Structure 1
Amino acid sequence: MGRLALFLLTACLSVTAMAADVIKGERQETFGDVTVHYNTFNSTFLTPDIAKAAGLTRSKNQGVINVSVLKDGKPLTAEVNGTVKDLTSQSVSLKFKQITEQGAVYYIAQYPVDQQETRTFQINVKSGDKTNTINFNQELFPGE
């Protein structure tokens, strides 16, 4: 599990360092003193060991969304849920699971990627008594 946390942390931080790199899709939103980092990628980017440890299906037709919530730079637990819609407005619920390890907290969910298309994501993050919503579009591609 330590490798999973390291991978997800590295994915978030390395992409944060290249915030203009839209191809990797990492983004962040700040709500007061809470910052939400999020990115999405094809599950084939995960090694088989990492995917297994996280309970994820590694497939060219499966995407992964990774969300982390920070308050004053420290991991914050939250309730995370959301949806992803295709161009025909068909919606798939995102079932996030929390991964906590070595002072890091991540929320990951999978969704189908059957063809190249732009999808609309809506992510709801509840921390304390406040819920913040993030909406974004991402062009997705089935993996190799």
Structure 2
Amino acid sequence: MGRLALFVLTACLSVTAMAADVIKGDRQEKFGDVTVHYNTFNSTFLTPDIAKAAELTRSKNQGVINVSVIKEGKPQMAQVSGTVKDLTSQSVPLKFKQITEQGAIYYIAQFPVDQQEVRTFEIKVQNGDKINTINFNQELFPGE
């Protein structure tokens, strides 16, 4: 699992070096003293070993969203949920799973990417008593 954490960290920090038409880069939102980092990418960027370790499906038609919560430079546990909507407003719930290893905590979920289109994400992050919502649009492409 250490390789998975390394990959996700690398993806978060260097996504702009990857295919810009598939990955828009690490984004972040600040909520007081908590920063939520998030990004999306096609699951074909995962190596087969990493996908297997994370129990993710590696497919050109599957996207991945990665969310991490940081407070005072340290990873925080949170409850993460959300949905992704297509242009027809068809909503798909995101089922996040927590990955914890070597001082890193992050949440990943998969979603279908059947065709090139802009999707609307709504992510809810509960850290303590606060529930913060992040809304963003992302143009997605099926992988190769």
Q: TM-score per shorter chain, which class? A: over 0.9
| Distance apart, 1:14 and its partner CA | 2.5
Kindly indicate whether the alpha-carbon contact (under 8 Å) linking 2:43 and 2:64 is maintained by their aligned counterparts in 1: yes
Counterparts of 1:31 and 1:76, CA distance in 2: 13
Counterparts of 1:110 and 1:23, CA distance in 2: 15
Query: Where does structure 2 lack aligned partners over 5 or more consecutive residues?
Result: none
Counterpart for residue 98 of structure 1? 98
Q: Specify the code of the residue in structure 2 equivalent to 1:63.
A: G
Query: Does residue 111 of structure 1 match 2:102?
Result: no
| Distance apart, 1:24 and its partner CA | 2.5
Deviating more after overlay: 57-66 vs 25-34:
25-34
Kindly indicate whether the alpha-carbon contact (under 8 Å) linking 2:35 and 2:69 is maintained by their aligned counterparts in 1: yes
* Counterpart secondary structure, 1:63: strand
| Distance apart, 1:95 and its partner CA | 0.1
* Counterpart secondary structure, 1:143: coil
Counterpart for residue 41 of structure 2? 41
Kindly indicate whether the alpha-carbon contact (under 8 Å) linking 2:5 and 2:101 is maintained by their aligned counterparts in 1: yes
Query: Where does structure 1 lack aligned partners over 5 or more consecutive residues?
Result: none
1:114-140 per-position Cα deviation (integer Å, ceiling 9, x unaligned): 000000000000000000000000000
* TM-score, normalisation: structure 1: 0.94
| Distance apart, 1:22 and its partner CA | 8.4
Counterparts of 2:52 and 2:22, CA distance in 1: 25
Counterpart for residue 24 of structure 1? 23
* TM-score, normalisation: structure 2: 0.94
Q: Specify the code of the residue in structure 2 equivalent to 1:134.
A: I
| Distance apart, 1:11 and its partner CA | 1.2
The alignment yields a C-alpha RMSD, in angstroms, of: 1.5
* Counterpart secondary structure, 1:12: helix
1:8-41 per-position Cα deviation (integer Å, ceiling 9, x unaligned): 11111224x88xx786222100000000000000
* Counterpart secondary structure, 2:87: coil
Counterparts of 2:73 and 2:13, CA distance in 1: 12
Q: Compared with structure 1, are the counterparts of its residues 5 and 79 closer, same or farther at alpha carbon in structure 2 (3 Å cutoff)?
A: same
Identical pairs, percent: 82
Deviating more after overlay: 5-14 vs 92-101:
5-14
| Distance apart, 1:91 and its partner CA | 0.1
Counterpart for residue 126 of structure 2? 126
* Counterpart secondary structure, 1:114: coil
| Distance apart, 1:62 and its partner CA | 0.2
Number of corresponding residues: 141
